[in-house]
Amino acid sequence: MMTRGFLPLLAIVAAGGIAALAWETDGFRVVTSAGARQLSIERNPVRLPDVRLVDQDGHAFSFSSYKGRPVLVDFIYTGCPTLCGVLGDDFHRVLQLMTGAGAGAPIDLLSISFDPQNDDRKALQLYGDRYGAKAPRWRIARPADERGLAELLQSFGVVVIPDGVGGFIHNSAVYLIDTRGRLARILDPDSPPRLFADALRASLP
């Protein structure tokens, strides 16, 4: 026989448990912190701090320089043996699609190094040459100072951890900045045509 108080106690425990799981998975939609971040950005695009960056030609600029044009952003370090190469290839293919679409494709590419200690202008230039990147269409840049770097990583939600053999492990996402200069979407890097299409769609009014 069921005892007194059993059903109320079970109901409280089950309700609390389901509520906790729903909260932690944003309503049973995500199980990873990267997924949660992706969902939250799509719902509420975030304003980015206007951090000063320096590109491969030594020119200083900031996100506000792009006003009115969507930008695809990735985070790299030029000493990266694995992932950044894939990211570089992806952006190279997006660049080809942009050129194929004529000079009219109103989008830009930006690769930001989170390793400004090793990535001087020369290193950024070499990385850019490897993938055919030319400023200002595709800038390879680094933050002008350490504080800017911390602000950038924080606002983009990029987590960089040491890989244990002198390099770094980091998010492999591509970030889409919309025409109003807000971080609007976090995209999977595996399909350059889709990256191109998403950026182009963001350029439409």
Partner 1 sequence: MRFSAAVGAWLILWLWPVRIALESDMAVHMILQVPLLIGIGLFVAIAVRPHEPHWLADADWLGIPGIVMVVFGTSFWMLPRALDGAVADPWMDAAKFLSLPLLVGLPLGLSWRRMPPLGRAFIWANFIPKLGAIGGLYLAAPARLCAYYRLDQQAVAGWTLIILAVVLGTLWFIVALVGRPAPGLRQLSVATPPIRAT
Among 8, 27, 100, 166, binds partner 1 (CB under 8 A): 8
Q: Residue 56 CB, nearest distance to partner 1 (Å)? A: 28
- Could you say whether residue 187 binds partner 1 (CB under 8 A)? no
Q: Total residues contacting partner 1 (rule CB under 8 A)?
A: 32
Q: Which CB, 18 or 60, lies closer to partner 1?
A: 18
Nearer CB in complex with partner 1: 2/204: 2
In the shown chain, the binding pattern of residues 26 to 45 toward partner 1, with x for contact by CB under 8 A and - for none, equals: ----xxxxxxx---------
| 22 counts as binding partner 1 under rule CB under 8 A | no
- Indicate whether 24 belongs to the interface with partner 1 (CB under 8 A): yes
Which 34-93 positions form the footprint of partner 1 (CB under 8 A)?
A: 34-36
Print the SS3 string covering 50-73: CCCEEECCCCEECHHHHCCCCEEE
Q: Binding to partner 1 (CB under 8 A): which residues in 161-180?
A: 161, 163-164, 169, 171-172
